[in-house]
């Protein structure tokens, strides 16, 4: 167990978290719906970061987790505020650490890949194809990786990703349901 004052959330190893869950703590998954649909810890309650005001405050301590712990750490203040005095800890290393420690997860590989991974795959593919076409066919094709790069910069600066907006409309992404 580790107390980290800069994030104000007590951190628990997977073993410590498991013991607290067995003692009655609620496990809260704060990742996006697409991530939760693909892989999660059994018994976890899904409350995305954008809906932390809906945390189930039942007088039981909460253990929050994301994929790696970074999002939970970044949004610790928001989570603590939403918990309104309910004790909150975070799973150190998130779902990745839980899996690495050999604890059970529920994984549905029939669900689409997480949207962020889809964006990475499409952006990387377009950039690579554009570069190869630019190198071997015509320099005009270099506009493709330049366009992808500009889109990624825009997404990073504004938080709005046109490619993600398009990908979420694809038929395979309409299946996200738990």
Q: Would you give the DSSP letter of residue 91?
A: E
Closest-CA residue to 47 (of 7, 12, 88)? 88
Beta bridge mates, 28:
45, 64
Tokens coding 43: 């018994």
User: Does 161 participate in catalysis according to the annotation?
Assistant: no
CA distance 110 to 174: 12
Q: Would you give the DSSP letter of residue 159?
A: S
CA distance 65 to 148: 32
- 1-35 as b/e: b if 16+ CB within 10 A: eeeeeebebbbbbbebbbebbeeebbbbbbbbebb
Tokens coding 142: 């270099």
Selected catalytic residue, list 18, 66, 89, 161: 66
What residues are labeled active site?
66
């Amino acid at each position: 167990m580790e107390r980290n004052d800069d994030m104000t959330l007590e951190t628990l190893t997977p073993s410590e978290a498991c013991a607290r869950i067995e003692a009655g703590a609620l496990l809260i998954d704060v990742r996006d719906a697409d991530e939760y649909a693909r892989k999660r810890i059994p018994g976890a309650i899904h409350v995305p970061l954008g809906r932390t005001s809906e945390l189930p405050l039942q007088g039981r301590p909460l253990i929050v987790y994301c994929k790696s712990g970074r999002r939970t750490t970044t949004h610790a203040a928001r989570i603590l505020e939403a918990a309104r005095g309910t004790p909150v800890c975070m799973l150190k290393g998130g779902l990745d650490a839980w899996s690495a420690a050999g604890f059970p997860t529920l994984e549905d590989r029939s669900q689409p890949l997480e949207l962020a991974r889809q964006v990475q795959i499409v952006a990387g593919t377009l950039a690579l194809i554009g570069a190869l076409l630019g190198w071997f066919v015509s320099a005009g094709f270099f506009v493709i990786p330049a366009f992808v790069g500009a889109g990624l910069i825009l997404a990073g600066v504004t938080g709005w990703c046109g490619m993600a907006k398009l990908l979420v409309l694809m038929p395979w992404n309409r299946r996200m349901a738990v």
